[in-house]
Amino acid sequence: LLPFALNQKEAKAIFKKWVGNLWFAPNSLKKFTETDSKFLGIYLPYWTYDSQTHSNFKGLRGDTYYVKVTRRVMINGREQYVDDMEPRIEWTPVSGTIERHFDDVLIGATKTIPRKLVDALEPWDLENLENFDEQFLSGFESEVYQVALDDGFKYAKEYMSYEIREAVRHRIGGDKQQITNLKIYHDQSSFKYILLPIWTAHFRHRQKEYRFAINARSGVIRGERPYSKTKIFFAVLLILLIIGTFFLAAEMENGALGERFHQIQIRLEHF
């Protein structure tokens, strides 16, 4: 596990600063930061996976070249011929292998906090992991994994597959790439079950609950946030008022200029 590096007071200060930077946050949320609302310190379960991968691929490399094409066009009502350089792509078959070792692919094993929120707390300093000791859990809660080991490995494979595909595209090169066949083999796969520390709280606004989480190592904060419809309404109203005032001033200025021009015209006619 990674022990807590931030205490509750520090976590609340981070949360208060985050809320203060939110546009159109409801007043009730800002009041929430002033209360003695309980921030929960909790160890979340994660799987990390290591795997040596060997990938065979086939694909096409696309190199762009240009050919001169004569076109018939109408310019000022007259038919003319112009030369244009038209792009073409030359495709070349490519094949090869990619060797890639993945170390500590991190997969959240909780379902009580949305995966999108949990993933957004990265990165973690996994190089500082310590062997499990119950003393670290004193004063904090700890969840048991809710995503099974094999299911977590499926998610990890999806991540590895994406990284391998990007490596294959880079290996193919050229201006465009097509991967027609890709076989990925995993070997020497291993895993660790780890606990990572977060501070979390929840806030209810208009019958909807919003969650917040803070990486208790780095201080990174992520969360769902409500919006104040009243503040948005008055902001839009203010913008419309400013725009209206600008156009009114412009109209008045144009009217004054028109009146001056009319007076000059009368004087010229009289002259």
Global pTM exceeds 0.75 = no
User: Average pLDDT of the chain?
Assistant: 84
**Alpha-carbon gap, residue 251 to 185, rounded angstroms:** 72
Taking only the tens place, the pLDDT of each residue in 206-256 is 667 778 889 999 999 887 765 556 656 656 767 777 777 776 676 666 665
Q: Which residues of 119-139 are buried (b: 16+ CB within 10 A; e: fewer)?
A: eebeebebeebeeeeeebeee
**Alpha-carbon gap, residue 143 to 173, rounded angstroms:** 45
Burial class (CB in 10 A: 0-12, 13-18, 19+), 225: middle
pLDDT at position 190 over 70:
yes
What count of residues does the chain have? 271
**Alpha-carbon gap, residue 145 to 44, rounded angstroms:** 8
Instruction: Provide the pLDDT for residue 193.
Output: 96
CB within 8 A of 14, min separation 6: which ones? 6, 214, 219, 221
3-class DSSP string for 227-268: CCHHHHHHHHHHHHHHHHHHHHHHHHHHHHHHHHHHHHHHHH
Instruction: Provide the pLDDT for residue 127.
Output: 93
**Alpha-carbon gap, residue 189 to 194, rounded angstroms:** 17
Task: Give the gyration radius of the chain's Cα atoms.
Answer: 32
Q: What is the mean pLDDT of residues 117-136?
A: 92
Helix (H) or strand (E) holding 27: helix 27-34
